[in-house]
Amino acid sequence: MARHHVTSRDVAERAGVSRTTVSFVLNDVEGTKISDETRQRVLAAAKELGYVPHAAAQVLAGQRTRTIGLAFPRAPHHLPTHFFLLQVMDGLLRVVQQHGLRLLIDSPDDGRSARSYLNLVRAKRIDGLIMLDPRSDDRALRGLAEDGFPLVLIGDLPGGDISSVDVDNRAAARNAVEHLLSCGHRRIACITNAPLSSYTATEERLLGYRDALEAAGIAYDDALVRYGAYTPQSGFNCMTGLLNDVRLLPTAAFVASDVVAFGAMSAIQRRDLRVPEDIALVGFDDVPLARFVNPALTTVRLPATEQGRLAGKLLLELILNQLEVSRRILLDTELIVRASSVPG
Amino acid sequence: MARHHVTSRDVAERAGVSRTTVSFVLNDVEGTKISDETRQRVLAAAKELGYVPHAAAQVLAGQRTRTIGLAFPRAPHHLPTHFFLLQVMDGLLRVVQQHGLRLLIDSPDDGRSARSYLNLVRAKRIDGLIMLDPRSDDRALRGLAEDGFPLVLIGDLPGGDISSVDVDNRAAARNAVEHLLSCGHRRIACITNAPLSSYTATEERLLGYRDALEAAGIAYDDALVRYGAYTPQSGFNCMTGLLNDVRLLPTAAFVASDVVAFGAMSAIQRRDLRVPEDIALVGFDDVPLARFVNPALTTVRLPATEQGRLAGKLLLELILNQLEVSRRILLDTELIVRASSVPG
DNA sequence: ATACCGTACTAACGCGCGTTAGTCAAGGTT
DNA sequence: AACCTTGACTAACGCGCGTTAGTACGGTAT
């Protein structure tokens, strides 16, 4: 079977009409008069032949690609526990499928060449782009937006004027740390979700931590801050480092990522210390496993799926309505208190 | 900026040559004589204009799309904890990037219309397809393979003759249960990773469980088998069900998915029972968090990343070499014994 | 009988590219 | 002097589609 791709010409011949008519019928073109009988003939012929328009030809002939891109930086070892990506995809895929779109993934190494998404745009492969965790030093991204290319960020890029769906990381982190403070903790460590690179979220969460301390009149201590790197192992290592220095020994830790927090929790328990009695723990993200670990993890719930869904809808508006106004959506977070911060 | 897409004609004019020459130079076409001086002029012109070939036009004129598809069924609530997908993507993205390919995601609802991937193929949008967890009742998939369309499965489709990268689920499960038996357990429950649908892995793992029991001369008890559904919550519920019936009370459980096992573990601990002293637990997958939970989870390590990588390479061979022989790769699994099955 | 109009269709172009089948001049052979 | 080569290019076609600018024709209005 399937030797020769069935083209609209084949359909036309079979229906005894011109290719133009086939196109008019199949695309339901407004303002064209086609007799009902002819229309049925064309429809029947198309069905019988199993006609599927050649995507590339459709695109070339000056239509939309009906494809959107999802770009995310790929830091080493990040992907295998990238819950956030999964949840975003979950929300996004729903929108994409609903509108008959296709999703093209672009995930460059987190190196210099981190702009392969540009090629997608330049080669006209996608109608719009959703960018996860944009780098603040990404100039090309701002250029794209200025050129009016449909672009939605999940995360933030300060200073630009780009549509985005984000949360207030700083306030959320502050709130989480204030919870620990209200439990009476004074020596509170911080383990970040990632190295202080060019991603803003990490920095914002760290700032929120400092905000809370400052408001409580507690001096910021550099030695209590450790830099995780996406993985549980990194959290394990950071926490082990903290535990090794007895002078530091915190009574609580704010970990800016649940996945990293799982590692930290493990490190504590390996030392036969208890969570939360010896060290209380608060995470960030509320990944689906947070309530099932032992003890259940107190954390900041992020509306990840919703971010994906909204980013998709927003992008669609940008693509269709050509509305050049950029819209920034800020979603709410919620502190979910569980057993890792308050003793049962 | 960027008003008019820069075409090869623009490059040709700027370099003072024909479009054909531009194409020859940029594509390094064998067997064409282009003077080095001309070549440099073309290269310079292309660079200066920022020329990027129009993807759709290339596809239409040439043959390759330089895009491959990744399809996976999307069961409700599965995606947010779909570690396996992430790891497969991790491996696959590496290959894809290395070869300058693009990845198109297709994830239909797990309903009847689960064959939207067919449209990708028919519309000539992809050169090849990788299918995660194929449904055994998917006739179209076999049809594709028979037509010689490059197709690689991750998971298995019995009876067909399709290239695949898989593990021996049955043997792995049996091995896991034998480990519990060797620890002296006789009443061993089983919680599956998913409902007994049309996915073979679930069934295989259940068969492995039965194999082990049978070999040990233990009668199979239907009441000890519960059906999870991808999520930790489902594991929690299944285990709660087991614990509620005192007559059943197992001393160990084989859970055919780490994620589900996390939920089961949580259910046990909520009852103030201990793992492994009261109930020993073995999972399946060795997700990156398995060693960081409390207690660390004994589990079957799956080479998920490697499956993704190999599937990519295999697909590439099918696309390039046109080798019509289908290859089935079976990778090894490994039982990783941790604290959830053997008391520290 | 002529002009006019709406209905039902179609010829032909262009999207941007890869590629085949050339052209043309310069030098080499018999 | 007539006939190949060979090197360096180019004209032109076709990929499959959407779409613009028509054509043909039966039926009214003048």
User: pLDDT tens for residues B7-26?
Assistant: 999 999 999 999 999 999 99
Neighbours of A207 (CB within 10 A): 16
Cα gap A199→A202, rounded to integer Å: 6
CA-closest candidate to residue A235, choices A199, A178, A282 = A282
Q: What residue of B is the nearest CA neighbor of A259?
A: B289
Structure tokens given for A298: 């107190």
Q: What average pLDDT score do residues A67-86 get?
A: 96
CA-closest candidate to residue B195, choices B260, B254, B130 = B260
Which residues does chain B have within 8 Å of residue A50's beta carbon, measured at their own beta carbons? 122
Considering chain A, what percentage of its residues have pLDDT values greater than 70? 97
Neighbours of A274 (CB within 10 A): 13
Give the tens place of pLDDT for each residue, B82-131: 999 999 999 999 999 999 999 999 998 776 566 789 999 999 999 999 99
Cα gap A311→A164, rounded to integer Å: 7
Q: What average pLDDT score do residues A265-290 get?
A: 97
Which residues does chain B have within 8 Å of residue A125's beta carbon, measured at their own beta carbons? 55-56, 102
Give the tens place of pLDDT for each residue, B125-148: 999 999 999 988 888 898 898 888
- Which fold does the domain A169-302 belong to in CATH? Rossmann fold (3.40.50)
Give the tens place of pLDDT for each residue, B143-201: 898 888 999 999 988 877 899 999 999 999 999 999 999 999 999 999 999 999 778 89
Beta-carbon pairs below 8 A across chains A and B: 167
Of the two residues A111 and A339, the one the predictor is more confident about is A339
Equal fold, B67-167+304-332 vs B169-302: yes
> How high is the pLDDT of residue A114?
64
| CATH class label, A8-53 | mainly alpha
**Chain C nucleotides covered by protein, CB below 7 Å:** 7-12, 14-21
Considering chain A, what percentage of its residues have pLDDT values greater than 90? 81
CA-closest candidate to residue A75, choices A133, A17, A34 = A133
Candidate from B80, B105, B293 with C-beta closest to A293: B293
Q: What residue of A is the nearest CA neighbor of B71?
A: A103
CA-closest candidate to residue B156, choices B336, B334, B326, B335 = B326
The CATH code of the domain at A67-167+304-331 is 3.40.50.2300
Give the tens place of pLDDT for each residue, A113-148: 567 899 999 999 999 999 999 988 888 898 898 888
Whether the CB of B35 is less than 7 Å away from nucleic strand D comes out as: yes
Mean pLDDT of chain B: 94
Q: What average pLDDT score do residues A240-250 get?
A: 93
Considering chain B, what percentage of its residues have pLDDT values greater than 90? 82
Residue nearest to nucleotide D14 (CA to C1'): B61
Structure tokens given for A142: 């701002």
| CATH class label, B67-167+304-332 | alpha beta
Give the tens place of pLDDT for each residue, B26-74: 999 988 889 999 999 999 999 999 999 999 999 999 879 999 999 999 8
The DSSP bridge partners found for residue A135 are A199
Is A344 in the B-facing interface, judged by CB distances under 8 Å?
no
Q: Which amino acid is at B158?
A: P
Cα gap A151→A134, rounded to integer Å: 11
Structure tokens given for A254: 């704010």
**Chain D nucleotides covered by protein, CB below 7 Å:** 7-12, 14-21
- Listed by start position, the domains of chain B span 8-53, 67-167+304-332, 169-302
Is A1 a residue whose pLDDT tops 50?
A: no
CA-closest candidate to residue A137, choices A158, A154, A152 = A158
Instruction: Let me know the angle formed at the C-alpha of B28 by B25 and B33, rounded to the nearest 5 degrees.
Output: 65
Where does chain B show beta strands of DSSP type E? Answer: 67-71, 102-106, 128-132, 151-154, 163-167, 188-192, 225-227, 252-255, 280-282, 299-301, 328-331, 334-336
Whether the CB of A55 is less than 7 Å away from nucleic strand D comes out as: no
Cα gap B68→B317, rounded to integer Å: 13
Is B273 in the A-facing interface, judged by CB distances under 8 Å?
no
> How high is the pLDDT of residue A146?
87
Q: What average pLDDT score do residues A315-324 get?
A: 84
Q: Catalogue the long-range contacts made by A242-248 (C-beta closer than 8 Å, 24 or more residues apart).
A: A242/A189, A243/A267, A243/A268, A243/A271, A243/A273, A248/A187, A248/A189, A248/A223, A248/A224
Task: With H, G, I as helix, E, B as strand and everything else as coil, classify residue B26.
Answer: helix
**Which strand (E) or helix (H) includes residue A191?**
strand A188-192
